[in-house]
Amino acid sequence: MLQPARRRSGKTAGLFIAGSAAFIFSVLYNGLVHLVVLGSANRQMEPLRCADFSSKIWISLAGTLAVSFLFTGIYVLFSREKNVRTGAFFGLLFGLAAAVLVDLNQYVIYPLPFALAAAWSFFGVIEFTLLGAIVGSIMRNKA
């Protein structure tokens, strides 16, 4: 299902739109999850944060922007069939990889409650699955 695509011409505008949509979705989704849904649990972790955390938020936003466009680019390059279904499947796999590489390692390295790390993983997988559906719907193959 995920194979190198053959045609790449005329995709620049679509890549920009899909990457931008992915970025906007990620910022809004993460705001909802981390500030509202997991707000009290995340506040318990404040002593582990850098004292000047808020002055470095731009780094987090730049990272989100980079991941949004990398995600979109990888999907476009390696998915022959582009639609909501394959986008969501790609997002699910990407999210599972991110959960293992990021959240599991953070649980091992930092004194985090397992329930919080598991929640971050769960919501991250959901985020990337939805992100894949969004990107897949924007970059879908023309009939």
pLDDT, tens digit, 9 for 90 and up, residues 89-119:
999 999 999 999 999 999 998 888 899 999 9
Distance CA 62, CA 98 (A): 17
Distance CA 131, CA 2 (A): 17
Instruction: Look up residue 142 and give its DSSP letter.
Output: P
Please answer whether residues 107 and 114 qualify as being in contact, where contact means their C-beta atoms are separated by less than 8 angstroms: yes
Q: pLDDT (tens digit, 9 = 90+) per residue, 24-53?
A: 999 999 999 988 998 888 788 777 777 787
Instruction: Look up residue 111 and give its DSSP letter.
Output: -
User: Tokens standing for 10?
Assistant: 């005329």
Q: How many percent of the chain have pLDDT more than 70?
A: 92
pLDDT score for 7: 54
Distance CA 2, CA 47 (A): 42
Q: What is the pTM of this model?
A: 0.85
Which stretches within the chain are classed as H helix? 12-31, 39-43, 57-78, 84-98, 105-109, 114-138
